[in-house]
Amino acid sequence: MSDELLVKINTGIATVLSAIFPGLGQFYNGKLPKGFAFFMIGGLLFYRAYIFFIAKLDPVVFVFKGFAQYSGIFILIFFVILWVFSIIDANKDSKL
């Protein structure tokens, strides 16, 4: 007899957790390194988007003058791509 504890992972819960914030669904699925990577990258992108759109304190303005007006949009696009990929990945991993 095996000493392993089998836990049924609910696909809906994993998907909703990743929809709340990238990485949470991966944590729920037991994929800790992947969840940590999604969570940290998502957190960094979310913070940068907050700085650009809400606080209006973007330090990129002083470095890339031509790119600065678009940097917030690029950060937001990368965050949305990461978010969608995190949702799809959590859903896929929960079905394994």
Average pLDDT, the chain: 82
Separation between Cα atoms, residue 13 and residue 82, nearest integer Å: 19
Separation between Cα atoms, residue 16 and residue 8, nearest integer Å: 16
Write down the pLDDT at residue 24.
93
Write down the pLDDT at residue 35.
94
9: which 2 tokens? 């992972």
CB proximity list for 95: less than 8 A, separation 6 or greater: 11
